[in-house]
Amino acid sequence: MSTESAAAKPAATPETDAPRDFIRQIIREDLANGKHAAIRTRFPPEPNGYLHIGHAKAICLDFGIAREFAGWCNLRLDDTNPGKEDPEFVEGIKDDVRWLGYEWHDLRHASDYFEVLYCAAIKLIEDGNAYVDDLNPEEMREYRGTLTEPGRNSPHRDRSVEENLALFRRMRAGEFADGSKTLRAKIDMAAGNMNLRDPAIYRIRKVTHQNTGDAWPIYPMYDYAHCLSDALEGITHSLCTLEFEDHRPLYDWFVDKVDLPNHPELWQHMRDAGFRTEPAKPRQIEFSRLNLSYMITSKRKLAQLVNEGLVDGWDDPRMNTLRGLRRRGFTPGGIRLLIERLGVSKQNSVIDYAILENCVREDLDAAAPRRMAVIDPLKLVITNLPEGHEESLTFANHPKDESFGSRKVPFARELWIEREDFAEVPPKGFHRLKPDGEVRLRGVGIVKCEKLIKATDGSVAELHCTLDLESRSGMPGADRKVKGTIHWVSAKHAVAADIRLYDRLFNVPTPDDENDGKTWLEHINPDAKRIVRGWLEPSAAEASPEQRYQFERLGYFVADRLDHLPQSPVFNRAVTLRDTWTTKQNA
What are the residue numbers of the active site?
46, 289, 299
3-state secondary structure 167-234: HHHHHHCCCCCCCCCEEEECCCCCCCCHHHCCCEEEEECCCCECCCECCCCEEECHHHHHHHHHHHHC
Nearer to ligand ATP, 342 or 367 (CB): 342
Question: Does residue 298 belong to the site contacting ligand ATP (CB under 6 A)?
Answer: yes
Q: What's at 38, amino acid-wise? A: A
Binding mask 57-86 for ligand ATP (x = CB under 6 A): xx----------------------------
- 144 lies in the site for ligand ATP, by CB under 6 A: no
Q: What is the DSSP string of 51-85?
A: -BHHHHHHHHHHHHHHHHTT-EEEEEE---STT--
d(CA 471, CA 445): 5
Q: Which of 438, 450, 451, 390 is CA-nearest to residue 415?
A: 390
Per rule CB under 6 A, is residue 511 in the interface with ligand ATP?
Answer: no
Q: Confirm or reject binding of residue 297 to ligand ATP (CB under 6 A).
A: yes
List the beta strands (DSSP E) in 350-444: 350-351, 370-371, 373-374, 377-382, 390-396, 406-412, 414-418, 438-441
Stretch that binds ligand ATP, among 55-63, 359-367, 467-475, 523-531 (CB under 6 A): 55-63
For ligand ATP, the closer of residues 54 and 534 by Cβ is 54
Kindly state whether residue 283 participates in binding ligand ATP, applying the rule CB under 6 A: no
Residue 576 in the binding site for ligand ATP (CB under 6 A): no
Rounded to whole angstroms, the Cα distance separating 164 from 567 reads: 70
78 is in an annotated binding site: yes
Q: Which of 55, 181, 281, 336 binds ligand ATP (CB under 6 A)?
A: 55
- Applying CB under 6 A, which part among 65-73, 290-298, 415-423, 445-453 lies near ligand ATP? 290-298
- In the complex with ligand ATP, the residue whose CB is nearer, 44 or 445, is 44
Spatial CA neighbour of 156 closest among 120, 189, 124, 119: 189
46 in contact with ligand ATP (CB under 6 A): yes
| Whole-number Å distance between alpha carbons of 27 and 5 | 18
State yes or no: 20 annotated in a binding site. no
User: Which residue, 319 or 374, is less far from ligand ATP as judged by CB?
Assistant: 319
Task: Please tell me whether 56 is known to bind a ligand.
Answer: yes
Shortest-Cβ-distance residue relative to ligand ATP: 54
242 φ/ψ angles, rounded to the nearest 5 degrees:
-55, -25
Q: Tell me how many degrees the CA angle 313-319-320 measures, rounded to the nearest 5.
A: 135
Query: Measured from the CB of residue 342, what is the shortest distance to ligand ATP in angstroms?
Result: 10
Q: Give the residue among 41, 35, 36 at the shortest CA–CA distance from 238.
A: 41
52 is in an annotated binding site: yes
Number of residues that bind ligand ATP (CB under 6 A): 15
44 makes contact with ligand ATP (CB under 6 A): yes
For residue 368, say whether it is annotated as part of any ligand binding site. Answer: no
CB atoms within 10 A of CB 465: 25
Mutual orientation of helices 53-68 and 22-32 as an angle, nearest 10°?
20
CB of 289 to ligand ATP, least distance (A): 4
Minimum gap (Å) between residue 299 Cβ and ligand ATP:
3
- 223-262 positions binding ligand ATP, by CB under 6 A: 240-241
10 Å CB burial of residue 32 (0-12, 13-18, 19+) is exposed
> At closest approach, how far in Å is the CB of 58 from ligand ATP?
4
300 annotated as ligand-binding: no
45 contacts ligand ATP (rule: CB under 6 A): yes
CA distance 35 to 256: 17
Q: Which is nearer to ligand ATP, 146 or 347 (CB)?
A: 347
On whether the CB atoms of residues 440 and 479 are closer than 8 A, the answer is no
We find the least distance from the C-beta atom of residue 127 to ligand ATP, in angstroms, to be 29
Would you say 463 and 383 are in contact if contact means Cβ atoms under 8 Å apart? no
Tell whether 263 is in a known binding site: no
- Position among 116, 120, 167, 290 found at the interface with ligand ATP (CB under 6 A): 290
289 is a contact residue toward ligand ATP (CB under 6 A): yes
List the one residue out of 227, 231, 238, 235 whose CA is nearest residue 264. 231
DSSP state of 321: B
Is 48 labeled as ligand-binding?
yes
How far is it, in rounded angstroms, from Cα 310 to Cα 440?
A: 44
Interface residue with ligand ATP, options 23, 27, 28, 54 (CB under 6 A): 54
Q: Which is nearer to ligand ATP, 139 or 246 (CB)?
A: 246
DSSP-assigned letters across all residues of 444-500:
TEEEEEEEEEE-TTSSEEEEEEEE-GGGSTTSGGGG---S-EE-EEETTT-EEEEEE
Considering beta carbons, is residue 205 or 289 the nearer one to ligand ATP? 289
Q: Which is nearer to ligand ATP, 2 or 41 (CB)?
A: 41
- Residue 388 Rama label (left phi>0; alpha psi -120 to 50; beta): left
Other CB atoms within 10 A of residue 191 CB = 16
Instruction: Give 273 or 310: the residue with its C-beta nearer to ligand ATP.
Output: 310
Q: How far is the CB of 61 from ligand ATP (least distance, A)?
A: 8
Say whether 57 counts as a known binding-site residue.
yes
Determine whether the annotation assigns residue 128 to a binding site: no
Q: Which stretch binds ligand ATP (CB under 6 A): 54-62, 94-102, 157-165, 442-450?
A: 54-62
47 appears as a binding residue in the annotation:
yes
Q: In whole angstroms, how close is the CB of 270 to ligand ATP at the nearest point?
A: 23
Q: Binding site residues for L-glutamine, as ranges? A: 78, 222
Give binding residues as ranges. 46-48, 52-58, 78, 222, 241, 289-290
What are the residues binding ligand ATP (CB under 6 A)? 44-46, 54-55, 57-58, 240-241, 289-290, 297-300
Cite the annotated binding site for ATP by residue number: 46-48, 52-58, 241, 289-290
